[in-house]
Amino acid sequence: MSDTAIDTLRAGARFDVEALRAQFPILRREVHGKPLVYLDNAATSQTPQVVIDVFGDYYARLNANIHRGLHTLADEATAAFEATRARVKAFLNAEDARQVVFTRGTTEAINLVAQSFGRQHLGPGDEVLISMLEHHSNIVPWQLLALDLGFTLKVIPVDERGSLDMQAYQALLCERTKLVAVNHVSNALGTINPVKEMARLAHEQGAVILIDGAQAAPHQTIDVQDIDADFYAFSGHKVYGPTGVGVLYGKKALLDAMPPWQGGGEMIKTVSFEPSGTTFAETPHKFEAGTPAIAEVIALGRALAWVEEVGVDAIGEWESVLLDHATRAVSRIDGLKIIGTAPHKAGVLSFVVDGAHSQDIGLLIDQLGVAIRTGHHCAQPLLHHFGVEATCRASFAAYNTLEEVDVFVSALERVIGMVR
């Protein structure tokens, strides 16, 4: 038996994927009369029954506004909401639960840093570094702010395999660099970036680093203290949780020194009609204006507990097995080119096929029950760099099987035969 086959067996023996699948009702549905093969996990992951149940339970038993009332429901809802903050603290290995700010998602977390920290610290002559691998949500907030504040936005290039050019990064870093904003794992290519090393280098220049962890949180243990991240963001709906909720982690001293972003209820200590007379709540509440997505936050806590029960590193290992299997199989397809072949990759397989439009492949393969992503994956500048407008992308999660990869590959071969 080959080494890979043995690895596959070992990982499979440790990982009971059929038992996991049974917890996801959506995986039992059909699409166009075929069993659903869901390989668009980098866009959103599916949700296990225990997380879905949180919603029914919350509205049936607990529904009340938090941090306000003194009645029982308000107390219980507040406790359940704050329990997620403690859960996120442990999930990220933060020092203190007060470093966890709830947002609508990664996008809002990045915008919060841009509008609060950015407006406080950035101006003409300053530089912000992002990378060519960034999602639009870690590009556009900085562009909007640069137009307003007059700082310069610079881009760390990637090599032909889709790894960040670390020499270029070091060359770009200088005393003008105030902030580095990079993703931990690229959603378009799957590249895992050396964020700990990047943080060390940024700090040597006195810059602050924000890490977009939307694609890392579902696949590997995150330790914000080990990375020495100043800010770290992720989204609930990519870690088996609900949409509408995400997290911004920040170093306590940074968050404490930052001004509020949005004003409203929940974020104040006292309010007077004298604008300078209004005072703000402590971190993290000063960044959480208005009634939050209470049920979603509680459900996120349940999703993270689920991920911990399964083991995030075991999930990551299983996804590597799926990725290896898929990479090997699609490499045999004539005219197929994989975009993004970095040595350290998460479970993302992006590719283009000679003589076949990605969109046609996506539409036709859906007819066979297979859900993949086609398009620019919110990373247009990156795809331009590789000379393509769009790719097909299959991305894996804990509940995907080797058989599903085989179904995907034979469906892909059929579809390519039809469009060529």
Ligand X SMILES: *Cc1c(COP(=O)(O)O)cnc(C)c1O
- 323, two tokens: 């990725």
CA angle, residues 42, 218, 228, in degrees to nearest 5 = 115
Catalytic residue list: 378
Q: Least CB distance from residue 179 to ligand X, whole Å?
A: 16
| Residues 204-233 within binding reach of ligand X (CB under 6 A) | 212, 214-215
Q: Does 106 bind ligand X (CB under 6 A)?
A: yes
Q: Least CB distance from residue 419 to ligand X, whole Å?
A: 28
Amino acid identity, residue 22? A
Q: How far apart are CA 296 and CA 242, in angstroms?
A: 6
Q: Does 131 bind ligand X (CB under 6 A)?
A: no
Sketch the per residue contact string, 229 through 268, with ligand X: x for CB under 6 A, - otherwise: ------x----------x----------------------
Alpha carbon distances (Å) from 369 to 68, 222, 302, 418:
47, 34, 29, 16
Q: Does 137 bind ligand X (CB under 6 A)?
A: yes
Residue with tokens 């220049």: 205
Which helix (DSSP H) or strand (DSSP E) does residue 412 occupy? helix 402-419
Number of residues that bind ligand X (CB under 6 A): 13
Contact range with ligand X by CB under 6 A, out of 105-113, 170-178, 278-286, 403-411: 105-113
Q: Least CB distance from residue 354 to ligand X, whole Å?
A: 28
| 14 and 314 Cβ atoms separated by less than 8 Å | yes
Specify the residue, 214 or 315, whose C-beta has the smaller distance to ligand X.
214
Q: How far apart are CA 335 and CA 340, in angstroms?
A: 16
Residue with tokens 């067996």: 9
Q: How far apart are CA 152 and CA 282, in angstroms?
A: 32
Q: Does 46 bind ligand X (CB under 6 A)?
A: no
Q: Least CB distance from residue 74 to ligand X, whole Å?
A: 29
Q: In sequence order, which ranges of 223-263 are alpha helices (DSSP H)?
A: 224-227, 252-257
**Which of 107, 131, 163, 283 is the binder for ligand X (CB under 6 A)?**
107
**Which of 85, 87, 89, 135 is the binder for ligand X (CB under 6 A)?**
135
| Residues 164-203 within binding reach of ligand X (CB under 6 A) | 183, 187
Which helix (DSSP H) or strand (DSSP E) does residue 35 occupy? strand 34-35
DSSP 375-404: E-TT-HHHHHHTT-S-EEEEE--TT--HHH
Contact range with ligand X by CB under 6 A, out of 86-94, 100-108, 174-182, 394-402: 100-108
**Which of 48, 105, 241, 301 is the binder for ligand X (CB under 6 A)?**
105
Q: Least CB distance from residue 138 to ligand X, whole Å?
A: 6
Q: Site residues (CB under 6 A) for ligand X?
A: 105-107, 135, 137-138, 183, 187, 212, 214-215, 235, 246
